[in-house]
Each structure stands twice: as structure tokens, then as C-alpha cells.
Amino acid sequence: MTIQISEEKTMDDHGRVYNFSAGPCMMPMEVLEECRGDFMNFQGTGMSVMEMSHRSKDFMNIFAEAEANLREVLNVPQTHKTMFLQGGATLQFSCVPLNMFGSGKTRADFAVTGQWGEKAYKESGKYGIANLACNTKPQKFSYIPPVSEWAISDPSQTAFLHYTANETVNGVEFQYTPDIKDIPLVADMSSNFITRPVDVSKHAVIYAGAQKNCGPAGNTILMVDQKYLGKEMPICPTYCSWKAFADADSMYNTPACYSIYVTGVYLKYTKAKGGVTYWEEQSLKKSQRIYDIIDGSDGFFTNPVQKDARSRVNVPFQIQGGNEELEKKFLAEAQKKKLYTLSGHRSVGGIRASLYNGMPMRGVELLAEHMKDFMSENAA
Amino acid sequence: MTIQISEEKTMDDHGRVYNFSAGPCMMPMEVLEECRGDFMNFQGTGMSVMEMSHRSKDFMNIFAEAEANLREVLNVPQTHKTMFLQGGATLQFSCVPLNMFGSGKTRADFAVTGQWGEKAYKESGKYGIANLACNTKPQKFSYIPPVSEWAISDPSQTAFLHYTANETVNGVEFQYTPDIKDIPLVADMSSNFITRPVDVSKHAVIYAGAQKNCGPAGNTILMVDQKYLGKEMPICPTYCSWKAFADADSMYNTPACYSIYVTGVYLKYTKAKGGVTYWEEQSLKKSQRIYDIIDGSDGFFTNPVQKDARSRVNVPFQIQGGNEELEKKFLAEAQKKKLYTLSGHRSVGGIRASLYNGMPMRGVELLAEHMKDFMSENAA
């Protein structure tokens, strides 16, 4: 079932708001409508997808289609196995060293450009030597140093180098794949996954929670070059073994069926829209609209991140350098215009507009207007 | 929003079937209807529950209500912390030793009465000494030996004793809480959780996937006596640390929000129906109906489990001692009557009727009639 609807009309019909949450977050209306339409009886099977045995033919078809669409939209090479797991990026922070340190190399490099990368770095230290290739914490995670300046370890001792493609809290994004010779590259793509093309072949491992750009929370997507499978540390929990899940096609145990199904509908929708290049175009347009207002505000709005490292999907900003009273007023007035969940992460404060795939251009336009109106009313 | 509907009418309206899957499985119509009704806009919030930030007030309320209802229906004492996690029982197979062996005691006892208990036993062996207190595998998991016959270890060296309250594949269920003095008791209740009252206070730890009796796949419920928190082994992944999740009220990272929400609706429905004693009454009635037919069939149908250990929720049986041709015919004819997913687990074959909370009495009646009709047509 595919429903074609006008976004504006349906937003209004359902009394929906524009939700700028950093995740879980807004999803395309068409994706939600399709899931709702099939909620009680999926395409004549007589069951909700939630009720299907994960080993049933019907669910296996749903799963296979989701996986095929994932592989197609990201052009995943045959060398890489794709999996749907649970536990989010946080569980993968442990799975990466548990699966990669069993090879005999028990050292790893970390490019820490935000709070999530720092967590991954700390977790790896439980299982081997974690080395900071770079760390911009002293500069408040405001830029990405060039790879040429990173302190990269001896490849003969180093199992992997880890980077965080987009830092959700700090609004810092890699605009390129770091070119690291001879060390397997591992990427946490949780917050910009499916927002633009990625050269999967340059990565040993990519992992991402689905809940920002391609589905609900509870589904973690993993892509692993098969040559890194089967080298777990002996203490690796079976649930954390990529090989166990690769061999069982993600069904070593009961998967998060409904979350995988919704992700599949989202990926099908992505294909229909033109693939990840469509989302890339949208995200550039949406983020540029907001950054232009910030940069043209004469310091009324400020974003702390160096321009070449600014995130297309998380735009944090302050008002008058952190005027909390004005920021509170900005948020309250935004909400009256149906612009929700715009406060910054509790660790950094301020405002944060997350502009994931599910946020339509109209929501961004309304936010842009609100910013301009607010500035003209409140700038000293 | 609560919708009161006739089950028969709604089943027919939606063209639904009776689904005897061992999980994920059938859910009550009212639970599904409520979730569908709120799918695009949860109670005037302007968002689907799937789209809500897990830190938003709206989702925190959903979460708190689900947790409060869980505690109420199972009468969970204040000593025990309740949590909603991901990864299923399989991840807990590792979490149990990872959290319990850090105390210094690195030995554990296992009562293995089916395939799932055996998996838990094997996983613990990675982290310490796993001892078989009992193991009915040589008897094809057909009974539960009395606790007095178990080989229980010295409590001064033993971190816990693990049992599986219901074995989904083999149809074996504990009808009582094993009385183990001086060793903390850990129970995997994945398949009979919320089907009857449990004395939580007698357990150090209870864990259960929600996808059998109280929700969709992707939500794992955990109850831990707080005195066992904070004693993880140093190699315990942070995601596996019960203390990390207890301290963060299950939100150390993004939880499986939608699965938790649906579980919450299911628990609210449970309360409205009269609590777990209602489900207990139902499950006794439903399973008795099928066992009576098996036992009265003069060996046409057989169930291999000793009567006092028979499961109320998974009823495996064979036709003419394993006549595969007849069993195939039985399944095909059942499907024509809208009775689905009745084949046995791939490891044991035959038929299996799972009679979880979501399976209405009418489905069981239709199955009972089918069994009787099939016997009179096919008995030699």
C-alpha cells in the first residue's frame, strides 16, 4: 500500500507539529501513513507485523526487502554484510573492540570530535589500548583537525581507527571519509546515516542507530567487511558477536521486528524519492537556510563550529552569546508556532535544530521565519 | 483513548487470523486498536510516539506509566529495580554472569530443563564456572526433577542459580518458584511472564522478552534486587551494566521507545482485565482444553511432557507419534480455518500451539474443534 498525500494537508489533518528533536524524531508522513494503514492486518496476512513470527515467510520477506533496499540506497558492496541489531550505538561501542581486538592487535585509534566519539574511546579502553589520534575537547569540539595532523598509531599494532561521522550534541560533521592508510576504518554514522552517499568500501565497519534518519529507535544498522568477522575476543558476549548475527542473517535471536519493518518502509520511501542524493540535496538546502540566518544575524545568533565542520543535520546555536532568558522566550514562542523540541542538549544548553530526513522544508521555513521575526523584535 | 469492541467483530472486520506463533505472536485487539488510533498523533501531542524524543515530557510520562503498571500488576517490591532494555534474553544470558560474577563468586548453578536454559548455561561458562544443577536433556527435556534432587553448589562460592520458568521449544514449565536456600535465584521468564502472579521477592533477578505475553519484540524487561547492582566484572560492556541502566532509569542511551509504549498499553489492558490472575485463569482454561483433547485421543495426539511440568503457554504435540504426512495435512487444513503458525520448532518438529495472553479463547476453541474433526477423519 502506498499513499500519496499533500504534506501540508496531512500535517493539519492530524494536528501534527514540526518536531526538531535530535532523535527519536520526525518521520515522513507517507512512511507513518503506510505503517498505520497496515497496522491491524499487513497486506492481507491477517496479522500486524508486530505479531508475526520472525521466522515466518511473511516477515522474512519484509526483512529481505528492507535489507535489499538498504544495500541498494547505499550501494553496499558484496564484501560487506549488513545486519539489523538492537542496543544502539552504545552497545556497538563495546562490540567494536570485542570483535576487532581478537585479531591479536589490541590497540585502536580514536578521532574524538564530540561527546559520542569520546564515549566510544572510553569504552574501547576496557578491552585494549585506546589512543587519541585527535581530540578537540579542549576546543569545545568546535572543529575537525585535518587527518595529516592526527597522531596515527603503527598499523602493525592497530586493529582499527574510529571516527564519529556526525556529532549530534556538538553539531560537528565530517564532510569526507578520512583517508587512513593500512588501518581498518570504523565509523559511527548514527546521526547522518542515509543523509548522503557513503563509500562503504572504504570502511571496515559502519554502524548507526536508525532513529535519526531512517526509522524508529530500537534498530541498529551494521555493515561489516566480512574479512573482519569471526575474530572476536573469547569474552565477547554471543549477542555482541557480529559473526553470530552474520551467519544467522540477523536472526540469531528474535530481532526488533517492527522497528526493522518501519525502517524498511522508510528505505522504500527513500528509493521512491530518488535515494540518498535526494536526502543530501534536502539536508544541504535545509541546513544552509538556518546557517545563513545565523551568519547574517550580526552575532545575535551564533554557532560555535568552524564552517567546514558544520553539521547538516544538527544545528546548535545560541542567542546573544547565551542569553538564557531570551533563549527560553525563543523556545516558548516557537512552540506556539508548532515548532517543537528545539532546546539544546542538556550538557551544552542553548538551541538545537535537528534537520533530519523526516523534517520537511516547510518546517525549516517556519523556523527561519521565527528566527528572523524573533531577532527583529529582540535585537538590542 | 480506550476502544471497547467485540473481538469477533473486529477480527472479521480486519480479516485477521488466529496466530499460534511461539513469539512474536498475537496481541489483544484492543491493544492494537489503541496503538493504531494514536499512531499519527499521540493524544494531542502532534507526534507519533515513534517520533518523540525519549527525554521529552510526553515520552517520560508514557515510560513512567508503563513502569508503574508493570510494578503494580506483578506487585514488585521496593527492593527491586525494574528496567526496559534491548537485546532479548540472549543478551541477558551474558549480562547475568557479567553482573553477578564481579562479586568475587565466579561459580553458578543451572537447572537446564530445555533448550533456552542450555544456552544460558553455555554462555555463563565464558565468564566463570557453570555447574549443571540438573539437566534433563538425556530425557529429551520431558520433565522437571524436584529441587531435592538437584546438585546444588556450595553457597559460599556460588553467585547465582539460574532456571528457565518456561521452555518455549519443549513446552516445559515450572509451576512453582524453586526454593533454593542461600543462593541468589535468577529466572528467565521470557515466555510465561505476565501470565500469572510471581513472587518477585524470592528472585535476585528476573528477565523476560516482552514479545510473548506483553508486547512486541525489541523490549526486554528486567527486575533486579538492588543489592546485586554495581558488582559488574571489569570487562562488562557498559550497555550490559544493570547499574548503568538502573541509575539512568533505563535511559542510559535511547531506549526502544515504541516497543516500550506498546508494552505499556498491554499492561494497562492487563490491569483493566483484572491483572495477572485474569491471564492465569485464561491460560489454565486454554491449555487444559488442548491437553484434554490430547490425553483423550487414545494416542492419536501425544505430548511428551510429564503432566506436572506441562506448559500452559506452549503446547507441543505430535500426530500418531510423529507421522509427518499427517502433521503436514493437519497444518494445511488448520490454515484454511484461519489457524496459523502451528508448526513445531524447527529443532523438534511436530505441532506447537502457543497460547499466550493475546490468543483469545475463541481461537483455542477453533483449534480444539479442528483437532477433534481431524482425529475423527484420520484416526485408523
What's the pLDDT tens digit per position in A94-106? 999 999 999 999 9
Structure confidence at residue A138 as a pLDDT band (50, 70, 90): very high
CA A206/CA A188 separation, integer angstroms:
6
CB within 8 Å: A94 and B209: no
Q: Of the given ranges (B13-27, B189-203, B281-295), which has the lowest mean pLDDT?
A: B13-27
Per-residue pLDDT, A251: 96
Partners of residue A98 in chain B, C-beta under 8 Å: 237
Whether A238 has its CB under 8 Å from any CB of chain B: the answer is: yes
| Residue A246 and residue A226 in contact, taking contact as beta carbons nearer than 8 Å | yes
Pick the CATH number of B7-28+275-378 from 3.90.1150.10, 3.20.20.70, 3.40.50.720, 3.40.50.1240: 3.90.1150.10
Q: What percent of chain A has pLDDT over 90?
A: 94
Q: Give the length of chain A.
A: 380
| Mean of pLDDT over chain A | 95
Judged by CB atoms closer than 8 Å, whether chains meet at A341 and B259 is answered as no
Interface of B with A in 267-296 (CB under 8 A): none
B212 is catalytic: yes
Q: How far apart are alpha carbons B71 and B75 in whole angstroms?
A: 5
CA-CA distance, A337 to B131, in Å (whole number)? Answer: 63
pLDDT the model gives residue A1: 37
* Chain segment A264-277, per-residue pLDDT in tens: 999 999 999 999 99
Its pTM stands at 0.97
In this predicted structure, what is the pLDDT of residue A14? 80
Has residue B146 got a pLDDT over 50?
yes
Q: Give the model's confidence band at B14: pLDDT under 50 very low, under 70 low, under 90 confident, else very high.
A: confident
Q: What is the pLDDT of residues A218-257, one digit of tens each?
A: 999 999 999 999 999 999 999 999 999 999 999 999 999 9
**C-alpha closest to that of A111 among A12, A20, A187:** A187
Q: What is the mean pLDDT of residues B195-217?
A: 98
Q: How many other CB atoms are found less than 10 A from the CB of residue A343?
A: 20
Q: What is the mean pLDDT of residues A12-39?
A: 93
A227 is catalytic: no
Q: Where in chain B is the domain with CATH 3.90.1150.10?
A: 7-28+275-378
A56-71: pLDDT as tens digits: 999 999 999 999 999 9
How far apart (Å, rounded) are the C-alpha atoms in residues A159 and A151?
15
> CB atoms < 10 A from the CB of A247, how many?
14
Q: Are strands A107-112 and A158-164 parallel, antiparallel or unpaired?
A: parallel
- Asked whether the predicted pLDDT for residue B2 surpasses 90, the reply is no
* Digit-coded pLDDT (tens) for A163-217: 999 999 999 999 999 999 899 999 999 999 999 999 999 999 999 999 999 999 9
* Cβ distance of A217 and B93 shorter than 8 Å: no
Distance (Å, rounded) from C-alpha A54 to C-alpha A59? 6
Give the 3-state secondary structure of residue B191: coil
| Sequence-ordered list of residues with C-beta below 8 angstroms from that of A65, at least 6 positions apart, any chain | A264, A268
Chain A, residues 316-335, CB within 8 A of chain B, namely none
CATH class of A42-272: alpha beta
Q: Which residues contact A37 (CB under 8 A, 6 or more apart)?
A: A1, A3
Burial of B335-347, coded b for 16+ CB within 10 Å and e otherwise, reads eeeebbbbbbbee
**A2, pLDDT greater than 70:** no
- The per-residue pLDDT for B194 is 98
How far apart are the C-alpha atoms of B267 and A96, rounded to whole Å?
A: 36
User: What letters, b where the CB count within 10 A reaches 16 and e where it falls short, cover B210-223?
Assistant: bbbbbbbbbbbbbb
Q: For position A4, what pLDDT does the model report?
A: 47
Residue ranges matching CATH 3.40.640.10 in chain B:
42-272
User: Using the beta-carbon criterion (under 8 Å), do B55 and A338 form an inter-chain contact?
Assistant: no
| pLDDT tens digits, B108-123 | 999 999 999 999 999 9
CA R_g for chain A: 21
ipTM of the complex: 0.96
pLDDT at residue A358 is higher than 70: yes
Predicted pLDDT at B347: 82
Cα B111 to the chain's mean position, in Å? 18
Q: What is the per-residue pLDDT for A349?
A: 85
| Nearest C-alpha in B relative to A95 | B237
Contacts of A130 in chain B (CB under 8 A): none
